[in-house]
Structure 1
């Protein structure tokens, strides 16, 4: 069966920044990543690269920022006085916070703390990067009606939700 809309795909992947050997993320050595194809679970460029692949296929894909996590926007990085954070017990670099902006609440990451200033960045950590994926398609099957209705893959092709739907469903 080929990967197409409303199929459940299980895959192993490894992702790196283009031209670098350091692995950013990987499912290798663990459970494969399973998702319903065509529901926006993956970045657009990787989803497009997977179309029509089958179980057993392995491939590599280079995904540019516009088809991954977007371009990096300098305007989303700000240097703020440290006293803005007085209401927080402890702050550290790498910490993610919710911030009120003109566009509503947004996640930001503290990227630098120096002297009396804190730099926060609202860009996705992988924004602006061209990414290299190595993918192994483990399995492809039709999604069940229940999976499509719930919007996620169930552990088994049969129902994983009890009669009250509380076992795995929101």
Structure 2
């Protein structure tokens, strides 16, 4: 059994993510399972680093913002009237909306970042946008992908959960 990460294998990674100051951003409580080989299941730079590695090997990858969640985009900040929102509103809540000037098909998730007297500040950036991230991962399992997984371009969980398929 080949335990090397190659194209069309399903890879399980134990991982954590810190910012450039070493602050933990994602503790990786659940292992990351993805289909290896250019399926856009994981950031390309991480996939590149994991290529050819074997079970038990640890990799550390530094991602610049453009290689991770993108640069911070000031235009994705919107200020809306407080009256447009439900009464129970808290910072951190998320709403789906279309960015101004886009057609209505383009929905992004906005997070409430501030609530003033009659205004609500929404941020459509990913919470990790604009940050350099250090991704440390250990390969814990490698298996050949099934024909089904290759056809769909992503991993299927063992419990037959197909909800991610389009």
- Deviation at 1:128? 0.3
Residue correspondence of structure 1 range 1-170 to structure 2 within 5 A: 1-20=3-22, 22-27=23-28, 31-37=30-36, 38-85=38-85, 88-101=86-99, 102-103=101-102, 104-150=106-152, 151-155=154-158, 161=160, 168-170=161-163
TM-score by length of 2: 0.83
CA RMSD in angstroms comes to 1.8
Unpaired runs of at least 5, structure 2: none
DSSP 3-state at the match of 1:110: strand
- Deviation at 1:81? 2.2
Residues 147, 154 of structure 1: 8 Å contact kept = no
* Total equivalences in the alignment: 155
CA change 1:83–1:31 in 2 (3 A) is closer
Unpaired runs of at least 5, structure 1: 162-167
DSSP 3-state at the match of 1:137: strand
Runs of 4+ in 1 over 4 A off after TM superposition: none
- Deviation at 1:31? 4.8
DSSP 3-state at the match of 2:26: strand
- Deviation at 1:169? 1.7
